[in-house]
Amino acid sequence: MVRASIITIGDELLIGQVIDTNSAWMAQQLNKAGIPVLRRVAVGDSYDEIWQALDEESKHAPVILITGGLGPTADDITKSLLCEYFGGKMIVDEAALANVKYIFERVIQRPMLDINLKQAEVPDVCKVIQNKQGTAPGMWFEKDGVIFVSMPGVPFEMQGMMQDYVIPELSKRFQLPYISHRTLLTAGIGESYLAEKISAFETALPSTIKLAYLPSYGMVRLRLSSSGNNKDLLEKELQQQFETLQSLVKEWMVTNEDEPLEKAIGKLLIAKKKTLCTAESCTGGYIAHLLTSIPGSSAFYNASIVSYSYQAKEDLLGVDHDVLEKQGAVCEEVVIQMAKGALKRMQTDYAIAVSGIMGPDGGTIDKPVGTVWIAVGDKNKIVTKKLSFRFDRMRNIQLTANNALNILRIFINENG
């Protein structure tokens, strides 16, 4: 089986200034293509460290993918190092030069500096991968039976090269196994409890099928994976096992596709031809952000009112002043009034309202940090739920949003 190593380059990765999302995305795409990732390595902008990483990874895998260090500034040393490593000399690639000029003249519309022209320089021992999204071309090298592919660290530029050229070319070069996955999403049950519920199923799985638990913010994805050369047999067996798994977790299953909760909510609303609005206090618009990140969300999502202060809750949602003064913003009655106010103001079929204390300050003995009230409903019925979290501010916000969306999902399914 062909395996790959990923090398990401940049001091910013090692000090935590930038999160390495490239490796995760690349690993997903390689896995789908039938090329599992054996190792992932991050190195700084150090000549010796990069050189050593190239030497080391080429001992373990026949495919080495590299991102980062291809910019025009002095700290971008990857291209010059690769030129020396593979024994080449720098030349100007005319297609890359034309691309750089086009971007500055037609896209960015500002004068091009001499330093930008260096983006078109490449080692003469590489195959150039044109960059449709930016100025730095990618480079394909081969040495002693090992393929090295260097791409920009800018995620969307790297992703374009991977999809348009790298994955298709690797698929031509190697006889790759067929790999298939089935993924479902659950909510309202913890990973350990879920594992207990399906332990007998997991034990009885054939050796060709693996089950993975992928927990995240109050939800757990379950993924069945299988690989082999007989596509039809593999798909049939995998689908049978997936149907069994769905029946075992149907009480908590949100969707039987590999998609986030907010997308499943959107599909549910579109199928029922219903609309949604949100009234957010403690989440500050995060629920709206999740929903509007879904392409086509205008078909089901109307608007959000971020009523952070008492005054905003009164003026924008009609929350009773006396209730706020006597009970505070984090209580059942306030989220009920927020939901009703949102439904009236925005004329949607459903509404979500949330109010809570996200931390790290603001808690009391009666209402500690992590206390959240959620209300969802329609013009006929409002349901509420109180939750208590114990995490940092951002995680509390994410958990609040996911729980609110899941409560809405249950409400829609139960009330039509």
Q: What is the CATH number of the domain that holds 34?
A: 3.40.980.10
Kindly state the average pLDDT of the residues 108-115. Answer: 79
141-199 pLDDT, tens digit each: 999 999 999 999 999 999 999 999 999 999 999 999 888 999 999 999 999 999 999 99
Total structural domains in the chain? Answer: 3
Rounded to an integer, the average pLDDT of 108-113 is 79
166 and 21 fall within a common domain: yes
Output DSSP code: residue 120: G
User: ∠198-204-205 over CA atoms, to 5°?
Assistant: 90
Indicate the residue type of 38.
Answer: L
Q: How far apart are CA 67 and CA 72, in angstroms?
A: 15
Residue at which a domain ends, from 173, 204, 235 = 173
Residues 141 and 108 in one domain: yes
Q: Are residues 184 and 127 in the same domain?
A: no
Backbone angles phi, psi at 251, to 5 degrees: -65, -30
What CATH number did the domain enclosing 409 receive?
3.90.950.20
Cβ atoms within 10 A of the Cβ of 1, count?
11
Helix (H, G, I), strand (E, B) or coil at 352: strand
How does pLDDT run across 12-69, given as a tens digit for each residue?
999 999 999 999 999 999 998 999 999 999 999 999 999 999 999 999 999 999 999 9
- Are residue 140 and residue 28 in the same domain, yes or no? yes
Together in a domain, 119 and 151 = yes
**Residues 233 and 342 occupy one common structural domain:** no
**Full DSSP string of 67-114:** ES--SSSTT--HHHHHHHHTT--EEE-HHHHHHHHHIIIIII-SPPPH
397: phi then psi, degrees, rounded to nearest 5: -65, -45
**Euclidean distance between CA atoms 15 and 28, whole angstroms:** 24
The total number of residues written for the chain in this structure = 416
- pTM comes to 0.81
The single residue listed with the structure tokens 């960015």 is: 108
Query: CA–CA separation, 60 vs 63, rounded Å?
Result: 9
Using pLDDT thresholds of 50, 70 and 90, give the confidence band for residue 263: very high
Gap between the Cα atoms of 402 and 367, Å rounded = 21
Averaged over 372-397, what is the pLDDT? 97
Structure tokens at 6: 């990923």
Boundary (domain end) residue, out of 173, 196, 225: 173
Average pLDDT, rounded, for the chain: 95
Q: Can you count the helices (H) and strands (E) in the chain?
A: 17, 17
* Residue 205's CATH number: 3.30.70.2860
Distances (CA, A) of 258 to 21, 181, 246, 263: 19, 9, 13, 10
CA 125 to chain centre: 36
Q: Is the same domain home to 248 and 281?
A: no
Section 323-346 average pLDDT:
98
Alpha-carbon distance 368 to 144, whole Å?
62
Most distant pair of Cα atoms in the chain: their distance: 78
- Are 331 and 404 within one domain? yes
- Are 317 and 399 within one domain? yes
Q: Tell whether 189 and 160 lie within a shared domain.
A: no
Distances (CA, A) of 69 to 77, 335, 340: 6, 50, 53
Domain containing residue 168: 4-173
Q: Do 105 and 223 belong together in one domain? A: no
In the chain, what are the helix, strand and coil shares in percent, each to the nearest 5?
45, 25, 30
Q: Where a domain ends, among 255, 286, 313?
A: 255
Looking only at the bridges linking them, the beta strands covering 127-129 and 121-123 are unpaired
Residues 6 or more apart in contact with residue 22 via CB below 8 angstroms: 6, 8, 67, 68, 153, 155, 158
Q: Are 392 and 359 in contact (CB under 8 A)?
A: yes
pLDDT at 149: 98
142: its two tokens: 């081969």
What end-to-end distance do the CA atoms of the chain give, in Å?
50
Verify that 248 and 302 share a domain, yes or no: no
